[in-house]
Structure 1
Amino acid sequence: MSDSMILFPLMSGVLPRPGGGRAKGIFLPDQGGSWLARLAGTRNNLLLCPWLNDEERLYPVGVSARVLDVEAQPAFDEDGQAVPVFLATLEGQEFMRWHSFRGSQELVLAEGVETVPLRQMRKKYPAISGAGWQPAGGYTEFRGPEDLPVTIYGLDVETGREISITANLGGLVTPEQAHTIEHGIIRALQQAGLCTVRTLLSAIAHETEELKWSVEAGIRFAMPEILGQTQGGACGNPMTYLAQAYFSETFLEQLEAGENAADAVARARKSAMSQVMEDLDLTGDPQLRALEGLKKGMSHDDTPLPVAVCKRVLQQFPFSPWG
């Protein structure tokens, strides 16, 4: 166990892949960029840890990295003004966990840092690594109760190549649960850089609440375009597809009839949501329609998964897109 290590929070971006994977990041001079420049080319490692937006805290597991190169260059703000930044190339070393942190000379130091051999621990503590790639989306194929492939896809941050991971969850969970798990894995990887039982359950809870909000707000304000929109991305499902199709059809009809664009949009929105509610037989009760829309329209299940099931789900996936 190491006494301490410089801790760099990652508000957005990705972790470099352990074992020598490289990633580039932009840092402001007063937010650690100057310190990165001092570390460039040395053997001193720093610890990169994700910031969890859902929980507003630092995740205690990250990737240690060596600073290979730091280049000062200008960036531009919203007003077109030049802002000095540092572009750093980082090389991932290994997964590490910290137990506490403290401030020191404009830096944050992680205390009680120890290596976490996640790949070797998968049998007891299954996890999926998000280090070295950017999960962008996914899809669940509803082939049958015993055949439910779930795929998460994204980009290799070092090469830009499209990569993915897939697992067949047939016989383990229902189709609705598989779709919900797909969204949870993406969100956990995007925020924590690691999908464990804990981060998966947390991500599923936040994702389903946002999906239910999108149903309720979409119906209440007649806005089909917000259906299925969450921090994790857009959910493809029968409800959103129907709403988009109905909206487009009615909008074009109104334009052809000579209605102006603003009135055509308003009419198409109301018509689309009305037809979707009728097709899916959704109740008008505000306390029930969001849950009905989630289950019947979006093919999601908001029932919390047992920990044992989560473990088996994660064990079906490879540790990373590289095996």
Structure 2
Amino acid sequence: MEAMLVLPVANGILPRPGGGIIAGVFLPEQGGDALFQVGAKNEVLLCPWQAEEESLYPVGVSARIREISQEQAVAEDGTPLVVYLATLEGCEHVRWHSLREEDGYFFAGQLKRMNFRQSRKTYPVISGAGWLPQGGYTEFRSEADLPVTIYGTDLESEREVSVSANLGGLVSKEQAHTIEHAIIRALSGYGLCTAKTLLMSVIRETTELKQSVENSIRFTLPEIIGHTDSGICGNPMTNLARFYLARDFTDNLRGGKGMARSLSEARRKTMSELTGEIGLSLAPGLRVMQGLKKGMSHDDTVLQLKTYQQVIARFPFDPWG
């Protein structure tokens, strides 16, 4: 395969390989000019942009430009500007091994087609192309019965789709809940959930969850418990914090207290009730771990890559597979 123009993707939207269609508006300085020069019927490579590393993930989806047109538009301040309307058709997963920059654009070389469906027995992955993961849930039935579901939206039909697997007997319930969140994070950030991206996502997710517990206690902010870059974690501690805060805030307002005082007192009372009910220690390090495991049903244990491979192998390749 010849070198391809790379379009960095920061919003997790990749076309589904094998004919999936996405359409978008491109500004000239954000790849529109280069896309227009490549022209219809030719291919470009869409690759996830890693904001934390400030780098491109080396696996993306090649896409054929089905249509592209130059249109006139108007900015919010009334200034006329040129935009490009493009329709892209997903072709296949592609890995690049070299990258060069030219006139502000990236071009990938040493390209290799990747058929992840065929290689699932030796290299299991879950694909995030063609859909936008939005949430998930873990059912704590028993250690031997732990269904995990990741749901999202099909980019073409806009219908809800999902992938599910039973992780019972493979990991603990707290680990399954952590893996649920980490899969969403990996699919959204990398477009692929592999053993390595899952491991990195587990580390980042649990780090941010623990930080949310510590900051909520230190600064008396119950509303930030369970918030990470991947979204809001649904768990007993987060749910209780939101319930107590809303209840106490409303009671204070009804009692005639001002907005600021009502919120401040509600926050203090909520944190007192929350830490007492869950039984958190006063020791900073210990209370964070108790909040993570007892309060939010998460586990920050980093498992072996082999275990993550087994976890991924239990899921389908994508929501349509």
TM-score computed with the length of structure 2 as normaliser: 0.95
Q: In the alignment, which of 223, 236, 239 is matched to residue 237 of structure 2? A: 239
**Corresponding residue SS for 1:131:** coil
Find the counterpart in structure 2 of residue 260 from structure 1: 258
**Corresponding residue SS for 1:143:** coil
Matches of residues 284-295 of structure 1 in structure 2 within 5 Å? 284-295=282-293
Contact 1:75 1:85 in 2 (8 A): no
Gaps of 5+ in 1: none
Distance 1:216 1:82, change over 3 A: farther
**Aligned partners of 1:133, 1:140: CA distance in 2, in Å?**
20
**Over residues 167-205 of structure 1, what are the superposed CA-to-partner deviations in whole Å (9 max), with x where a residue is unaligned?**
011111100000000000000000000000010000111
Distance 1:75 1:154, change over 3 A: farther
Find the counterpart in structure 2 of residue 123 from structure 1: 121
Contact 1:224 1:273 in 2 (8 A): yes
**Aligned partners of 1:187, 1:235: CA distance in 2, in Å?**
12
**Aligned partners of 1:83, 1:198: CA distance in 2, in Å?**
42
Find the counterpart in structure 2 of residue 36 from structure 1: 35
**Aligned partners of 1:130, 1:304: CA distance in 2, in Å?**
23
**Over residues 267-323 of structure 1, what are the superposed CA-to-partner deviations in whole Å (9 max), with x where a residue is unaligned?**
001110111101111012222222221111010000001111101100000000001
**Percent of residue pairs identical:** 53
**Corresponding residue SS for 1:118:** coil
Matches of residues 16-165 of structure 1 in structure 2 within 5 Å? 16-42=15-41, 44-71=42-69, 72=71, 74=73, 76=75, 84-165=82-163
**Over residues 19-42 of structure 1, what are the superposed CA-to-partner deviations in whole Å (9 max), with x where a residue is unaligned?**
000112332202210121233422
Contact 1:207 1:230 in 2 (8 A): yes
- Which moved further from structure 2: 89-98 or 243-252? 243-252
**Corresponding residue SS for 2:93:** strand
**Aligned partners of 1:53, 1:243: CA distance in 2, in Å?**
30
**Over residues 44-69 of structure 1, what are the superposed CA-to-partner deviations in whole Å (9 max), with x where a residue is unaligned?**
21111001223322100000001112
Q: In the alignment, which of 220, 223, 238 is matched to residue 221 of structure 2? A: 223
Paired residues, number = 320
Q: Which amino acid aligns with 1:57?
A: S
**Aligned partners of 1:25, 1:124: CA distance in 2, in Å?**
36
Contact 1:13 1:25 in 2 (8 A): no
Gaps of 5+ in 2: none
Give 1:112 shift: 0.2
Find the counterpart in structure 2 of residue 184 from structure 1: 182
**Aligned partners of 1:165, 1:83: CA distance in 2, in Å?**
41
Q: CA RMSD in A?
A: 1.6
